[in-house]
A and B are shown apart, each in its own frame.
Chain A
Amino acid sequence: MSNQKPVLYSYWRSSCSWRVRIALALKNVDYEYKTVDLLSEEAKSKLKEINPAAKVPTFVVDGQVITESLAIIEYLEETHPDVPLLPKDPIKRAHARAISLLVASGIQPLHNLKVLQLLNKKEAGFGGQFAKQFVVEGLTALEILLKQHSGKYAVGDDVTIADLSIPPLIYSANRFNLDLSPYPTVNRINETLADIPAFIAAHPDNQPDTGLNA
């Protein structure tokens, strides 16, 4: 094992970074947190030197650069198998991945910062309107999936990668002032997750850069 601690380039409020922080905490991986100020062009230029997409999270381990939150989490699952985040059963694995991907591909990209900025430039307020619509559609689909597959957690009775998607999504929904009463299952699971130490440690309010640009 390398002596060097892995490095996570992160931003406190980034949903994608948050998912990786939860995975690292659940697996008890000690890492160095490097803040990337998402509103600073200089910070993003520096990040671009190791990640051409200039996006957080970016994970550097043993000299290897790994990008994309789900790719990082799958890598951690394979290299740190204790505290598994994917069930053994291929069926449950597929469901856990499908829920993760629904959020990571179907919901989150449609309300990320660059999207909102571009839409608000076209018409003030349009970004928020657009984002709300897709978060609502996504939450509606997620609620149905969770009713089908959840036990105590999103898929069965153990925490999986699907659960990592839920707190950041609810956090975003709250920032858009959405009514969450149509999603009782999502809310129940979110409240259950909120008590787990790893989820607390990974929360935006508990990061070295908490409050930056707030």
Chain B
Amino acid sequence: MAAKPILYSSWSSGCSSRVRTALALKKIDYEYQPVNLLNKQKEQEFHGNNPAEKVPILKINGLTLTESMAIIEYLDEIYPDPPLLPKEPELKARARAIAFHIASNIQPLQNKPIYLMLNEKEPGYGDFWCQHFISKGFKALEELLQMHSGDFCVGNQISIADICLPSIVYNAIEKYHVDMTPYPIITRISNKLAELPEFQVAHPNNQPDAPKN
């Protein structure tokens, strides 16, 4: 067996937590390499491998992979058990649509650099901004889940949609104090996922670089 895969990750990065969850679900043992997102001094190896200077990066099978969703699709193709996408094309499209809704319509708009930039523009504006786009995204997400969810986001099997959900809910509640009352399905599924060991091991608080309380 080759050397263990290396995941460059930050405990609080939502995109990193997706890959951590996928690795746990696939039972892939890996080495965790912490990247401090707030450290102004970029690590040279990190910068050299990722022009966008973002986590996660996964080094696996001699490759360097970027973009959490691309990494997860790769893992699902190379290590198909358990599957992270339904078999049927329509259901697969739904799982991807929910995942991409979170990854493209919500996540980027509440990223730390944007939050900081906007709060610098006007104190408190960053908070308003993130709350606004999370709430807007959650409103649509709740309706999508009403149409498609069973035990999980799409039917009764865990998919990439579920992998994307916990980190944005974590941010909504812990970072931006979004009122979750209007989103009972999001809350139910998120709470259910929180009980699963693979999601627990991927949780921000359980990472080697998480601050100790």
A, B: real partners: yes
A residues with a Cβ closer than 8 A to B are: 52-55, 64, 66-72, 74-75, 78-79, 90-91, 93-95, 97-98, 100-102, 104-106, 108-110, 115, 118, 122-123, 126, 130, 137-138, 140-145
Which residues of chain A have C-beta atoms less than 8 A from B122's C-beta?
Answer: 122
The CA of A68 and the CA of B94, in the complex, are separated in Å by 9
Using a CB-CB cutoff of 8 Å, which residues 106-156 of chain B contact chain A?
A: 107-109, 114, 117, 121-122, 125, 129, 132, 139-140, 143-144, 147
- Whether B96 lies near A97 (C-beta < 8 A) is no
Task: Given A78-B89, A144-B51, verify A52-B108 contact (CB < 8 Å).
Answer: no
- Whether A98 lies near B97 (C-beta < 8 A) is no
Which residues of chain A have C-beta atoms less than 8 A from B65's C-beta?
Answer: 94, 98
Segment at the A interface, from B4-12, B68-76, B169-177, B188-196:
B68-76
Chain A residue at smallest Cβ distance from B54: A106
- Whether B51 lies near A145 (C-beta < 8 A) is yes
What is the CB-to-nearest-CB distance from A212 to chain B, in angstroms, rounded to a whole number?
Answer: 23
**Interface of chain B, main secondary structure:** helix
Q: Does B67 contact A (CB under 8 A)?
A: yes
Query: Of A108, A110, A123, which contacts B121 at CB under 8 A?
Result: A123
- Whether A101 lies near B108 (C-beta < 8 A) is no
CB-based closest 10 A-B pairs: A52-B143, A144-B51, A97-B70, A71-B96, A53-B140, A141-B52, A68-B100, A98-B67, A98-B70, A71-B97
B residues with a Cβ closer than 8 A to A are: 51-54, 63, 65-67, 69-71, 73-74, 77-78, 89-90, 92-94, 96-97, 99-101, 103-105, 107-109, 114, 117, 121-122, 125, 129, 132, 139-140, 143-144, 147
What is the CB-to-nearest-CB distance from A183 to chain B, in angstroms, rounded to a whole number?
Answer: 12
Which residues of chain A have C-beta atoms less than 8 A from B92's C-beta?
Answer: 74-75, 78
Task: Given A66-B97, A71-B96, A75-B92, verify A97-B73 contact (CB < 8 Å).
Answer: yes
What is the CB-to-nearest-CB distance from A122 to chain B, in angstroms, rounded to a whole number?
Answer: 7
Chain B residue at smallest Cβ distance from A105: B104
What is the CB-to-nearest-CB distance from B55 to chain A, in angstroms, rounded to a whole number?
Answer: 13
Other CB < 8 Å A-B pairs besides A53-B105, A122-B125, 14 of them? A54-B140, A66-B90, A66-B97, A68-B100, A70-B96, A90-B78, A93-B74, A95-B70, A97-B69, A109-B108, A110-B109, A110-B114, A123-B121, A141-B53
Which residues of chain B have C-beta atoms less than 8 A from A105's C-beta?
Answer: 67, 69, 100, 103-104, 107-108
Which residues of chain A have C-beta atoms less than 8 A from B51's C-beta?
Answer: 140-145
Q: For B77, B99, B140, which residue has the most chain A Cβ atoms within 10 angstroms?
A: B140
Chain A residue at smallest Cβ distance from B60: A94
Q: List 28 A-B contacts (CB under 8 A).
A: A52-B139, A52-B140, A52-B144, A66-B94, A67-B97, A67-B101, A68-B97, A70-B100, A75-B89, A93-B74, A94-B70, A97-B74, A98-B65, A98-B70, A101-B103, A102-B66, A105-B100, A105-B103, A105-B104, A105-B107, A106-B54, A106-B108, A109-B109, A110-B114, A118-B132, A122-B121, A141-B52, A145-B51
The CA of A108 and the CA of B100, in the complex, are separated in Å by 13
- Whether A101 lies near B109 (C-beta < 8 A) is no
Q: For A78, A79, A97, which residue has the most chain B Cβ atoms within 10 angstroms?
A: A97
The CA of A55 and the CA of B101, in the complex, are separated in Å by 10
